Amino acid sequence: MQKDPIKKDIINILAISGSLRINSSNTSIVNFIGSLMPTHCKYFIYNELGDLPHFNDAAEIPAIVNRFHQQVTEADGVLICTPEYAFGVPGVLKNAIDWAVGLGSFDRKPVAMISAGTGADKAHASLLLTLQAINADVKDAALNIPFVRSKMNDGKITDETTLKAVQNLVDIFLKNIIASREAAY
């Protein structure tokens, strides 16, 4: 008998904050979203983003890059929350995604993306374009949170409209993961 992917099978989610700054709003959002996940979700936060070496086309892939690739591959979905730096995504996040290009880590992988900053609309557009280039499956799971600091307090989202938008994003993301599992059967 085949397992029904809609039942309470464990869903593995890898979350990535595009910011290395201590007390980052983006990292706070990633942590906060973990508290919104249903109990049948295993939620892991990737914490080696700043340790990844600069992308290059070397024949030998560093062990840390292989670990990143494995974590993305094993995840049922990846959640990315990024600030905007100089009208784009931070270099460390782009670097991680660049490593994933040749490895195919994100190919048809359900992804939820959040851009959060003062404006973040340019980072949002840039990240969406990059994710499309690597064939990630974002499917309506994208959210831009402008003026994020005014919508948070003590690491939690306090703005009711933003909280509803984040919960809606999580719901869409989980539905996309289930749909991806169904398509694989």
Sign of the CA dihedral running 125, 129, 134, 140: positive
What's the token pair of residue 143? 């959210």
Query: What residues does each domain of the chain span?
Result: 11-56+63-184
pLDDT of residue 1: 37
Alpha helix locations (H) across 37-120?
63-74, 91-103
Distance CA 138, CA 176 (A): 8
d(CA 42, CA 139): 21
Q: What is the pLDDT of residues 47-63, one digit of tens each?
A: 999 999 999 987 899 99
Decide yes or no: CATH 3.40.50.360 for domain 11-56+63-184. Answer: yes
pLDDT digits (tens, 9 = 90+) for 102-131: 889 999 999 999 999 998 899 999 999 999
6 vs 99, residue with greater confidence:
99
Each residue's pLDDT tens digit, 16-47: 999 999 889 999 999 999 999 999 999 999 99
Q: Per-residue confidence at 101, pLDDT binned at 50, 70, 90?
A: confident
Average pLDDT rounded to a whole number, residues 78-103: 93
Please say whether the beta carbons of 106 and 80 come within 8 A. Answer: no
Q: What is the pLDDT of residues 136-148, one digit of tens each?
A: 999 999 999 999 9
